[in-house]
Structure 1
Amino acid sequence: MKPTVGLTGGIGSGKTTIANLFANYFSIPIYIADVQAKNLIANNSHLREEIKLLLGERAFVNNVYNTSFVSNIVFSNKQVLDKLNAIIHPYVQEDFLQWKNMQKSPYIIKEAAILFESGSYRDCDYIIMVTAPLEERIKRVIIRDKIDREMVEKRIKNQWSEEKKIKLSTFVIENKEIDKNLDKIKEVHFKIMKMIDENVGN
């Protein structure tokens, strides 16, 4: 079984940017859990019904996931957020395993915002944690998601702290200038390849 490298980081840290560099420079397949979760919600009728049972019919408007409605509920109530994640996670995990079995690369990357919070990190052979200064993260999310600072801070509070995640990570990449990112990604890639070779030899 090819190794799974989990890639995570706080909201706005630039996880996808870093993941795409692995894909572009080393042809490593990337599974972006948040994107696939949205695809599953849009296309899996069983998952949609489970979400409606938890959040009500207003979770969908004209069969489209009502993101603003759902966000307002879950980021103000951690219990509901945990229940929603518990509903979605098994569908994402099944989809991920099917995708992984089709890949031919020496390792694959699973990029997930809640890799630790969902417990998915336990299924990873190595973990990359992406960090960035808090204020920079907040600015990125305000621009990207068109939400106010208060909502961003609520989302951050619902994630594990960077310190807690770093302790459980194999590698840490501080998302800075592109040149420094590339140097670090090359270093991490070759270390992963070396560890894979060493494990095969044992």
Structure 2
Amino acid sequence: MTHPVPKPWILGLTGGIGSGKSAAAQCFIDLGIHAVDADHAARWVVEPGRPALASIVEHFGPGVLQASGELDRAALRQLIFSNPEQRRWLEALLHPLVREEIAASLSRATSPYAILVSPLLIESGQYRTTQRVLVIDVPSELQIARTMQRDNTSQAQVEAILQAQAQREERLRHADDVLVNDRDPAWLKSEVERLHHFYLTLTGGH
């Protein structure tokens, strides 16, 4: 008699800009853990040929398309930036689709647990679909330095981005585990391995 393989539990992985959450996610992937990136899911649902893109074009007009037929994100952002009503319309269209996309991808996981990587895990309420939350945290000075180095942005721009993200305290309040990523990649890898071995001992994330 074969026992059904238990469904993987879901770990939510988040962290502020420049915290290294993508690097941490990659360490888990290298250990054979299935990971879904919420940002990628948000891009997939508006790819050419997907129903969402057709709805967006019908609603906003062909000006939101690039010549290649792909969504012109900058043009769309411009249209909804100062128009809360249009932004709500777009969110009402996309949020359920992104949720379905994430759920479908997570359901294909065959690893003991699976990871939902999302910069807005807390703000979007996505953490409610996970059994456990891991926050990759960095001191904010380091976060700003890393982001400026990566994106060539000015300090003021970075501080504005930090302001806009659910404040670090809020993220930490929801965290079951916190990994302070203030050293080198080798250290991050060893910390992820340590967490991974701990996670393998958990049932349903608890």
- For normalisation by structure 2, the TM-score amounts to 0.78
Q: Counting helix residues as a fraction of each chain, which structure ranks higher?
A: 1
CA separation of 1:112/1:197 partners in 2, compared to 1, >3 Å: closer, same or farther? closer
Cα offset for 1:121? 0.4
1:194 to 179, 189, 201: 201
2:97 to 86, 91, 95: 91
Structure 1: which 5+ runs fail to align?
none
CA contact (8 A) 1:4 1:126 kept: yes
- In 2, distance between residues paired with 1:36 and 1:30? 11
Corresponding residue number in structure 1 for 2:180: 174
- In 2, distance between residues paired with 1:73 and 1:134? 32
Query: % of aligned pairs identical?
Result: 25
SS in 1 for 2:25: helix
Range with bigger deviation, 167-176 or 49-58:
49-58
CA separation of 1:183/1:192 partners in 2, compared to 1, >3 Å: closer, same or farther? same
- For normalisation by structure 1, the TM-score amounts to 0.80
Corresponding residue number in structure 2 for 1:128: 134
Cα offset for 1:132? 1.7
Corresponding residue number in structure 2 for 1:160: 166
* CA deviation map 1:2-40 (0-9, x unaligned): 20101011122111100001111x211111111232222
Range with bigger deviation, 108-117 or 47-56:
47-56
Structural mapping, 1:1-150, within 5 Å = 1-24=7-30, 26-52=31-57, 57-62=62-67, 63-70=69-76, 84-145=90-151, 147-150=153-156
Range with bigger deviation, 83-92 or 31-40:
83-92
Structure 2: which 5+ runs fail to align?
1-6
CA separation of 1:193/1:78 partners in 2, compared to 1, >3 Å: closer, same or farther? farther
**Which of structures 1 and 2 has the bigger CA Rg?**
2
